[in-house]
Structure 1
Amino acid sequence: MPEQYSFDLAARPALGRGDFFVAPANATAVATVEGWRDWPSGKLVLVGPPASGKTHLAHVWAALTGAAILPARELADADLPALAAGAVAVEDAETVAGDDTAERALFHLHNLAQAEARPLLLTAAAPPRQWPLTLPDLASRMQATATVALEPPDDALLTAVLVKHMAERQIAIAPEVLSYAIQRMDRSFAAAAALATALNRAAITARRDDVTKPMVRAALDRLDADRA
């Protein structure tokens, strides 16, 4: 039975390894994260768009390594030596850019982790060369870090994402309705999350535990209108 892959979710996220659906779009990233003992210099940047699964993979990795996980915005107030005493994952690492205190905190955490030979995982929406870092030493260290990307979803992965979003909201979606949605929605993880949220709202309003093609059509029309 193929394993399942999960993504960043707004409602009761399931972050275990068994919740992953592995498809060509994410197989390399999953294998690389799980193969953390082979990371060059013990560090990796995991890149992907919003809702692509970066947080889920960080939690899977933390389960494997006992790592602490924290958002980059909390680094400035963190006990960096304590963090560097074990494996550590920093989420949304690119958000330190332009904040001198945060950049220096990430720089020191990186150096401490390297000195202690502790693995470091960073997640980001873009590769380090695109981060507008102002601290040259941090920029050079980040750009020297191995990077792996979560690619845009194919139909199989997008289907799995939408099914899981709906299941976590306890809303049923029949195969023909699911196919209807996949053929018409935007091809992105974020679009799947937005559609699931809209369908959940529609189901609650209609007092249903499933969704219909007209509900999907109306939800997609509303999402299109919101973007206009």
Structure 2
Amino acid sequence: MIRQLTFDLPARTAFRREDFFVSPANATALAALDDWRAWPGGKMLLVGPKGSGKTHLARLWAAEAGAACIPASDLATADLPALSAHGAVAVEDAETCAGQAGAEAAFFHLHNLVTQAGHLLVTAAHPPRDWGLSLPDLASRLQAAPVARLEAPDDALLSAVLIKLFADRQITVPPTLIPYLVQRMERSIDAARALVARLDAHALAAGRPITRQLAAELLDPGN
């Protein structure tokens, strides 16, 4: 039997406005970031679980505000004056700096440099009080920042993302497949991308279209 070869090519993630699907899970956070010029103290915390869209929303804001983006884990060795010169900075996965003296000190100095006349966006899975920060001055400044919350993706958001991901691959699927997948998948955008890639690879290897039956073979193999 001849099987079609499949290649797991690296996917390029595009953080475009048209690819950000608005739903009740993220609408409030999106509105808060759109109003970035009015942030109290020039700063905002974007808090939400993994896969809720923090990176996408942070990159949209960075493009709008002309901001530099940096993972908190890189702060200890970063050129802080060069970062602050952008006038706006996004610090991502901020909780990863907790307990790292150099990173916490750098974060504190960057905060002071940027918020003097610019804007600082901080993303994290949880509020700062739960990070375990060792530097009291940094903790107090971050805890004083307003918070925009992203909830885990709801059914409407996951459905829209799945439809877009299939369309990007030029795959037509039956309408009943989307709700079937939504009820069985991990509730995150990353999980949606991985699931569509798995379904595509399985369909290509088997020489079959993507149907609910094929999806069941991956998601409910015992049934």
What is the TM-score of this pair, normalised by structure 2? 0.86
In the TM superposition, what whole-angstrom CA distance separates every residue of 1:52-74 from its partner, at most 9, and x where no partner exists? 11111111111111111111111
Q: Residue 191 and residue 18 in structure 1: after superposition, are their counterparts in 2 closer, same or farther (change >3 A)?
A: closer
Q: Does 1:87 align with 2:83?
A: no
How far residue 203 of structure 1 moved from its aligned partner, in angstroms, is: 2.9
The 8 Å contact of residues 161 and 189 in structure 1, kept in 2 or not, is answered as yes
How far residue 200 of structure 1 moved from its aligned partner, in angstroms, is: 3.2
Q: Paired residue for 2:13?
A: 13
The 8 Å contact of residues 12 and 168 in structure 1, kept in 2 or not, is answered as no
Q: Residue 178 and residue 128 in structure 1: after superposition, are their counterparts in 2 closer, same or farther (change >3 A)?
A: same
RMSD, aligned α-carbons:
2.1
Q: Paired residue for 2:196?
A: 196
> Identity across aligned pairs (percent)?
58
How far residue 216 of structure 1 moved from its aligned partner, in angstroms, is: 1.3
Q: Paired residue for 2:210?
A: 211
The 8 Å contact of residues 43 and 145 in structure 1, kept in 2 or not, is answered as yes
More moved, 10-19 vs 63-72: 10-19
Q: Paired residue for 1:144?
A: 144
In the TM superposition, what whole-angstrom CA distance separates every residue of 1:27-48 from its partner, at most 9, and x where no partner exists? 1001001110111101011111
Gaps of 5+ in 2: 1-9
Q: Paired residue for 2:129?
A: 129
Q: Paired residue for 1:113?
A: 114
Q: 2:220 is aligned with what amino acid? A: D
Q: Paired residue for 1:45?
A: 45
Report the secondary structure of 1:175's partner residue: coil
Q: Residue 165 and residue 50 in structure 1: after superposition, are their counterparts in 2 closer, same or farther (change >3 A)?
A: farther
Q: Residue 145 and residue 178 in structure 1: after superposition, are their counterparts in 2 closer, same or farther (change >3 A)?
A: same
What is the TM-score of this pair, normalised by structure 1? 0.84
Report the secondary structure of 2:159's partner residue: helix
Q: Paired residue for 2:64?
A: 64
More moved, 123-132 vs 27-36: 123-132
Report the secondary structure of 1:120's partner residue: strand
Gaps of 5+ in 1: 1-9
Give the number of the structure whose alpha-carbon radius of gyration is greater. Answer: 2
Aligned residues: 212
Q: Paired residue for 1:179?
A: 179
* Greater relative CO, 1 or 2 (CA 8 Å, sep 6+): 2
In 2: Cα distance, 1:165 partner to 1:65 partner: 28
Q: Residue 38 and residue 218 in structure 1: after superposition, are their counterparts in 2 closer, same or farther (change >3 A)?
A: same
In 2: Cα distance, 1:82 partner to 1:205 partner: 49
